[in-house]
Every structure is written in C-alpha cells, then in structure tokens.
Chain A
Amino acid sequence: MVTWEFPPRIVGGIARHCYGLSRALVKKGHEVYLVTLDFPGAPLYEEVDGVKVYRTKVELGHPDFIVWTLLFNHFMEKKIAMASKEASFDVIHVHDWLTAPAGISSKHYLNRPLVSTVHSTEVGRAQGLHTPSSYLIDGLEWWLTYESKRIIVASYSMKREIEGHFRLPQDKIDVIPNAIDPEQYEKNVDRQAIRARYRVGDHERLVLFIGRLVPQKGVEHMIRAVPKVVKEHPEAKFIIVGEGWSKGYLESLTKSIGCEDRVTFLGFLPDQDLVDLTLSADLLVVPSSYEPFGIVALEGMAAGVPVVASNTGGLSEIIEHDRTGVLVYPGDPKSIAWGINRVLSDPAYSNYLIQNAKRRIAEIYSWEAVAEKTLKVYEAAEENSPT
C-alpha cells in the first residue's frame, strides 16, 4: 500500500482510511507492507498492529510543491524496491495522485497489478482547473486511473465524477464505502469535564465541526449560519476542529460577523481528544460543498451525535434525510441554520436520528466489510494479465 498520509501524519481522511484498511487486511491473515512519508517523531520503520510501515525520508527538497512531490515519489520507489526484496507482492495499492508516480513505476518493474483508490479529484477540490499545477495534478490523476487495473472509490457520486471526467469504463470502477471503528466510541466519558476543558458550560449546546479548513469543507457557510442559530438558540456554542490554509480567513470572518464569543477554533486535536470531544457534542455539522465521501459524518453517527450535513456527494449516500440525519442545501447558510435549529429544538427528534444512525453504522460501515470487498477487488486485479 502506498500513501502520503499515515498516522501520525494525519491531514484528512486518507490517513484514517489507510490505517483502518491495512489493519483490517492483516486481521484477515494478509501481509501488508505500507510505504508512506516520514513525520517528525515517527520511526522510519515500525509494525502497527501487524502492518509493516516504511516511512520515506525525502533527501532532497525544492520550493515548488509539484517538484517536491515528484522527488518524494522517487524516494518512495526506492523504499518499495527495498521492501520488495523481503516479500513478493501480489498487488500494489495506491491512494490518490500524490503517490501515483511511485505506484505506477513499481507496477512496471515488479510486474504486478496496480489498484488505486481515488479519494477525491483536483477538479472537485479546486472547483475547476485554474492553475498550471491544477492541470498537472488532474493529468496525474488521469494517468493513475489509466494505469490501474481496478479503481476504488468510496461513493457512487465519486464513481460518476471520475467516469465522466476521466472517460473511464464504468466496469473498471468499484464502489467501496469508507468505514470507522465503532468500538472507539463505545466508552463512557465525563462529558461535563470535557466540555469544561473547551469552555463549554453545562447550559450551553455544543455544535461541532471537524475537518480541514479549506473552502470545499464549507466552514464559511456554517459560520455565516451562526447568527441565525444563536437568534433561536443563544446557548449554542460552535467548536471548529482542524487545520487548513483558510483558517486565517475563517477567523477574520467570525470576527467580522461579531460571533467570536460563540465560535472557537481549536486547531488540530489528537485522535483520543477528538473522540472524547465528539462524544461530548450535541450536534455535528458537515457543511461541505464538495465531499466524495465524508467519513466524519460516520464518526458522528457512531458517537451518538445527530448529524446535519450537506446534501452532496457521498454525504447524500451516507445519510438518509429525517431518518439517520438531516440533509441541508450545500453552500446555503440559511438551510444549514434551519437544520441545526431543527435538531437543537427537538430532543425527541434528535434521539430518533441518533438511534437510527447507530443501527445503520453497525450494518454497513465496518472495516471488516471494507477489507472483504477490497480483497475481492485485488483478486479481480490479479486475474488474467498481471498488469
């Protein structure tokens, strides 16, 4: 498995996905060699629940991101070649464009089939292709899908997107949803103490956002909804968890609409703190404008927190409106406020959503099921020609 993100190098959902999938494959009796990038404090080699994790040190640098990406792929190829002396790989599985060059060249020199998971696309993330770098990333994404024997996506909306954009045959793409570890959320926490740690009083209602602070996540629209929520629920307090390049803009926006006393930016939180905070929240908002899957919605559902999410992409497939959560119009603060107010105003409705959502998680979104489906894709990739 080749990925640029693996814990503790966590930014978005890719790290969590690779962590969950690789461990589940090992649990099923398979050997997983995972090649990723180094991170301060993490060892260059370790075994994580049986997964052999090789972290690549990037020995050369360049200020340009694309040049740097191509450089780190070179060092990853070297690492993959080294690992291939210890074991004979059956399949090479690459996650997103960032590690595409290393995966593609490994496919050719190891003569093994390549499987790729497309977590998102440049054209979706950037809402179009506006710069030379965007065009190159889009090209690398196409190249990865072309070279892959099988392609995995997490939602039907993503399948439609890449089928159309990269002109791919539909029978080359498999839809396997993301998953979570529901056991992580099966614990009792001292809600009062945790809320106090983040300065949320007993009488206040904690509305949570978790995600990267980038435009596609729609945090701006949620912040613009805050005055409309506070008007009906002055006890609502919004906590925003995550890092991202638009953080400064979002903090300024919060101040400019006079909501800084109702909105707190926490930055990045370690996983355990994140679980505790989620378990202590009254509501989780996923206001994305573009969301190929939306693993954070699953985490909220597993934690027993009602979820208000945009009716877009994978979120529309995870959440059944009025049954397992509330779907609102993407990019529409009025609609987001409506969804939040609806849940905060009706505890019985909130409880109904929570119970339905928990059942749904247990039925569909387990890593064991995802590993089982992924193994079937690997088998299909190995059939007939090796590459």
Chain B
Amino acid sequence: MSMRIPPIPDETYFLCMLHNIGAIMPERSLSIEEIAERTAMDPSKVEENLRKLISSNYIEINVVGGIKRYHVTINGIRKVLSMYS
C-alpha cells in the first residue's frame, strides 16, 4: 500500500540539526550566532525556526550573562528520534 508522505517541515530539519550538534540540555545550549555558525544558516532564518519551535515546546531558552541560549527539550529530542527509528 503506497502512502502520500507529507514533506518534513523545515523547522523539523532545523530541530534535528540542533539536536545533532549537541544542544540537548541547558548546559549545552547555544546562542543564535553559535547556531548560525555551526549549521551554516542565516541568523534570521535560525531565529525564525527557533520562534516556531519554542511555541511548540520543542526548544527552550535560558539566559546566561544576558545572552539568550537555546536547547532542544525532551519532547524535541523525541520528535527528532521519530524521524529515524
């Protein structure tokens, strides 16, 4: 039986990248600039994706030294793992 597979949204790929570069707990969280550097993405695109993922509770923010840093939540990790398991 063939299925119509919906495309994987861009922000889900972005979430996957954030997971794979290790930002999966507060002490490993990254700033927008660091994420942009490590994923070779434009900071404005990073910000846009983060906004969507924060509203779905897949990303959390913590502020360290006045700088916002982002990491994948436990639900976000589960979403990433569902892509490959």
Q: Which residues of A contact B (CB under 8 A)?
A: 4-5, 9-12, 14, 39-41, 58, 60-65, 67-69, 96, 98, 126-127, 137, 212-216, 218, 243-249, 267-268, 289, 312, 330-331
Contacts and interface: CB of A to CB of B under 8 A. Distances in A.
B2 A63 contact: no
B39 interface: yes
Contacts of B12: 245
B24 A40 contact: yes
Nearest to A242: B82
A62 B79 contact: no
B20 A65 contact: yes
Contact of A268 (B2, B8, B20, B75): B75
A58 B20 CA distance: 9
B67 interface: no
Closest 6 CB pairs of A and B: A63-B17, A61-B22, A61-B21, A68-B20, A244-B82, A11-B81
Contact of A244 (B17, B25, B40, B79): B79
B85 A12 contact: yes
A267 B57 CA distance: 11
B3 A127 contact: yes
Contacts of B6: 215, 246, 249
A377 to B, nearest CB: 23
A200 to B, nearest CB: 23
- Between A41, A62, A289, the greatest number of chain B beta carbons within 10 A of the residue's beta carbon is seen for A62
Q: Is the interface of A mostly helix, strand, loop or mixed?
A: loop
A37 to B, nearest CB: 10
A224 B75 CA distance: 26
Contacts of B8: 245
Contact of B20 (A12, A63, A330): A63
A126 B5 CA distance: 9
Nearest to B57: A267
Contact of B39 (A60, A63, A65, A216): A63
B45 interface: no
Contacts of A248: 9, 56
A11 B5 contact: no
Given A216-B3, A331-B1, A40 B82 contact: no
9 contacts: A5-B81, A9-B77, A11-B81, A40-B24, A58-B22, A62-B20, A65-B84, A247-B79, A267-B75
Nearest to A253: B6
B3 A331 contact: yes
A214 B12 CA distance: 13
A330 B25 CA distance: 39
A58 B77 CA distance: 14
Contact of A12 (B17, B40, B82): B82
Given A39-B77, A63-B39, A245-B83, A127 B20 contact: no
Given A63-B38, A215-B5, A245 B82 contact: yes
Contacts of B5: 126-127, 215
Contacts of B17: 63-64
B1 A312 contact: yes
Contacts of B75: 243, 267-268
Interface string B4-47: 11101100100011001110110000000000001110000000
A40 B3 contact: no
A27 to B, nearest CB: 27
Nearest to B82: A244
B74 interface: yes
A330 B1 contact: yes
Contacts of A246: 6
A60 B38 CA distance: 12
A4 B19 CA distance: 14
B31 to A, nearest CB: 15
Interface string B48-85: 00000000100000000000000000110111011111
A64 B2 contact: no
A62 B24 CA distance: 13
Given A39-B77, A215-B5, A331-B1, A243 B82 contact: yes
Which of B17, B38, B56, B85 gathers the greatest number of chain A CB atoms within 10 Å? B85
Contacts of A330: 1
B58 to A, nearest CB: 9
A15 to B, nearest CB: 9
A313 to B, nearest CB: 11
